[in-house]
Structure 1
Amino acid sequence: MKTNPSDLLLTAIAPAIWGSTYIVTTEFLAGFSPMTVAMLRALPAGLLLLLIGRQLPSGIWWLRAFILGALNISIFLSLLFVAAYRLPGGVAATVASVQPLFAIFLAALLLGSPVRLLAIVAALIGIGGVALLVLAPHAALDPAGVAAGLAAAAAMALGSILTRKWRPPVPLLTFTAWQLTAGGLLLVPVVLLFDPVIPMPTTANLLGLAWLGLIGGALTYALWFRGIGRLEATVASSLLFLSPLTAVLLGWVFLDQALSLSQMAGIVLVIGSIWLS
């Protein structure tokens, strides 16, 4: 399949914006747990898009919407939260960055896509680039945390492949609404169980939630699902390397965080891996 540059650029917007989650959460949502932020990010955005589209799933699409919402949003974010809780942030990000590698083999299994050696090499280069970007020396490894990070990567990789395989019979915004709403609803009992007290939001909190929900949720997931339908699965997954890259660059620009030589090398490797894919 020939890659259309406009499809590539539009899809790349999603993981690039997802990279702002860290700085928005730390600067605007102090006191909110990551799981609560994930629920407040997905559910209101999904309900808003449902009001706009005014169409609910029918037949088998009820089940598929909840499967995709679970894989792409609730299971992915829950397991990523567990990984981030049990591992240093850099280790968690590096473990989660194996998702493009999972996507290569899942696409071969479920879509019949060929396993290209160059795609595997590109994914490994990207993982190395992310490690240089965010991994601290002598970082501790917790087996349960590593397992959760790997499972999170596998969940979203599978969700992306199934999104392409099933091809929804509705407009893109409606399809995005189904997944965000389903994923958000599945997160509600998790939040009530582990984080029942939600802080009273301030103006800064509301601005942060509006950014994560409307821009980092509704807009980006619509662009992401559009890209999954138009790009090869391995190409779309490789763009996820932009997320930690954006997070590091935003920290450098807005938080005066230093950019080391190893991180600069990581930037080159991440960009190179996407170009190879």
Structure 2
Amino acid sequence: MLPFLSMVLASMLAGSMVLVSDLVIQGFPRFTAAAIRYAISSSVLVPVALLHGGMVRLPARDWGLLTFQAATGTVIFMILFLQGVHLAGPVNAGVAAGLLPALISLTGFVLLKERMKAHEKAAVGCASAGLIMLAISRQNGSGPSMLEGAQMLGLVCLILAYWADALFTVLSKRLSTPVSAFFIAASMSGLGFLLSLGPALVETWLYGWPHAQTSQWLAILWFAGGPTILSFLLWYWGMGRSSAAAAGVAIAAMPISAVLMAWIWLDADVSASQLVALGFVLVGFLLVFIRNGVSRMISIFAGVGSTR
């Protein structure tokens, strides 16, 4: 029971990103926030990786692939995610989190020419239905209508953010050298810091060092410590002691908890269309999980926890 609860907590920590994103974006320029976050997470994840097998000698091709993965799964993901939550709102961001498994299947089909099985096609269909429902909202109680321009742009940012994360997961299959999850997490965090450092220095030169409030500093500390470090460690501790079925149920807590936390702590309105969208993406999520087993669950959460 404890390993399962550990994975549920890890999923909830990943979902908590929606709670602090607005505070982060209000207090820090985008790349500066990314650099600070990954500097903090690297200070923990790199020593953890050294304790679990140390650094691995990789060919130049693999390092190039890891660098591209870090660019998409860490820096680009975080920039788009922050902007998406800011524009579309935390509830839409929470629902969109459930799209990741379907996006991974679709990306594998497009890039790696992997054959999509019937249940994966159904999952993509459910995800598409969920996106259509997300694009519909009730404004001023007047009935269903399309999201306003800024909200629609935010939804596009969220979809692109999760697609960047899906790209990270799919490309991990192309590494020629087997590496541990701890090494991947440390590499993504460290490379994410290096890739965001240059643009962060430019932001500092243009705008000066951010004069963030205490709550905003705490938000970015949580962003680094909760969804990035704690969720990763809790997930892999529980995954090593549980079944794939338990992992699938646990990871489904991420979009659900994100929506619930936005409703409870941020007092966000949750519309009927958003609840229907959440139902669609959860069905799609489970369709991917049921047939893909442990390796897919590990790959998905490596993207969710270690790169965010």
TM-score of the superposed pair, with normalisation by structure 1: 0.71
Q: Distance in 2 between matches of 1:16 and 1:40?
A: 22
Q: Given the superposition, is the C-alpha separation of residues 83 and 266 from structure 1 closer, same or farther in structure 2, using an over 3 Å criterion?
A: closer
CA contact (8 A) 1:11 1:224 kept: yes
Q: 1:266 aligns with which of 277, 283, 288?
A: 277
Q: Distance in 1 between matches of 2:108 and 2:82?
A: 26
Q: Distance in 1 between matches of 2:107 and 2:3?
A: 22
Letter in 2 for 1:49: L
User: Does 187-196 or 76-85 show the bigger shift?
Assistant: 76-85
Gaps of 5+ in 2: 138-144, 289-308
Letter in 1 for 2:22: T
SS in 1 for 2:146: coil
Give deviations 1:49-107, integer Å, cap 9, x for gaps: 2134334453424333312211211122334456667x644898588876544422432
Gaps of 5+ in 1: 1-5
Map 1:40-55 → 2, pairs under 5 A:
40-54=36-50, 55=54
CA contact (8 A) 2:35 2:193 kept: yes
Match in the other structure for 2:229: 218
Determine if the alignment matches structure 1 residue 39 to structure 2 residue 48. Answer: no
User: Does 218-227 or 205-214 show the bigger shift?
Assistant: 218-227
Q: Given the superposition, is the C-alpha separation of residues 72 and 221 from structure 1 closer, same or farther in structure 2, using an over 3 Å criterion?
A: farther
Match in the other structure for 1:139: 147
Match in the other structure for 1:180: 189
Shift in Å at residue 112 of structure 1? 6.2
Identity %: 22
Match in the other structure for 1:190: 199
CA contact (8 A) 2:69 2:168 kept: yes
Letter in 1 for 2:65: R
Q: Given the superposition, is the C-alpha separation of residues 164 and 151 from structure 1 closer, same or farther in structure 2, using an over 3 Å criterion?
A: same
Determine if the alignment matches structure 1 residue 25 to structure 2 residue 29. Answer: no
Q: Distance in 2 between matches of 1:81 and 1:26?
A: 7
Letter in 1 for 2:127: G
CA contact (8 A) 1:20 1:250 kept: yes
User: Does 152-161 or 33-42 show the bigger shift?
Assistant: 33-42
SS in 2 for 1:258: coil
Map 1:40-119 → 2, pairs under 5 A:
40-54=36-50, 55-60=54-59, 61-81=62-82, 88-89=88-89, 93=93, 99-108=100-109, 113-119=114-120
SS in 2 for 1:209: helix
Letter in 1 for 2:261: L
Q: Given the superposition, is the C-alpha separation of residues 132 and 39 from structure 1 closer, same or farther in structure 2, using an over 3 Å criterion?
A: farther
Letter in 2 for 1:21: M
CA contact (8 A) 2:24 2:33 kept: no
Give deviations 1:212-267, integer Å, cap 9, x for gaps: 1122112335678998xxx99xx98xx98865543321121123333333333233
